[in-house]
Structure 1
Amino acid sequence: MRARVALLGAVAAVGFAAPAHAYPSDVDTTFLASLQAAGITYNNADQAIVTAKMVCGYMAEGQPSPAVLDGLKARNPGLTTAHGAQFVGIAAQVYCPDQLVSNGAAGPSSQSE
């Protein structure tokens, strides 16, 4: 419960964060283009980038994806569950692909027949 409250507080602080930078990098541009392709809108590109990087930070700390998603939705009441989940997925793919967990479906089976 305490972790969830801390997560919500940190995500809420994103709205008050200073812009990360004036000119997006190629990675940031990829992220913003991916959001646009998914139909996810935002008011401030720098805040969207900061939030995405915070998502990666929470994932690196071991926060479960549902808690990260709940924090995003609490800070962005208009964000649907579907778009929130897409935001978390896009953030992870672009900024922290090492945090993505394989479910084993894509790789070869570890069991022998």
Structure 2
Amino acid sequence: GYMEIGFVKEDNVAAFIGAGCNIVVGEHDQNTHFLVGEEKFRGGKRYQAANTSMKHLAFLRDPRTRQIIGEPEYGKNNLKIQERFIPIEKKKRFHLPHKTSMLIALSRDRFFQEGHFV
């Protein structure tokens, strides 16, 4: 598996945030990347726990972070799982060289008020 937390303005996804997505990126806003390669470790509850924990860590590691931006692959189950357990906002569908993604945003306030912690 692979997990990464970084700042949006230092990531390639920043080039895709612009007109038509209604996102203003702050200096301390972060993004997360999460990949599980082993089939036996995939699944709703495992994904929910790991992804929610990673978002929680991102907000805790820098209290100036107002939102977390993500670009999960469009049409995959992980986006559906995130919608069930994390109050994300879908912003726009866009194409990267290796996948079609959905740009999502998770605000700090909504995460701590509406997030389902396991």
State the TM bucket, normalised to the shorter chain. Answer: 0.3 to 0.5
TM-score (norm 1): 0.36
Structure having the higher helix fraction is 1
- Larger relative CO (CA 8 A, sep 6+): 1 or 2? 1
TM-score (norm 2): 0.35
The structure with the larger Rg is: 1
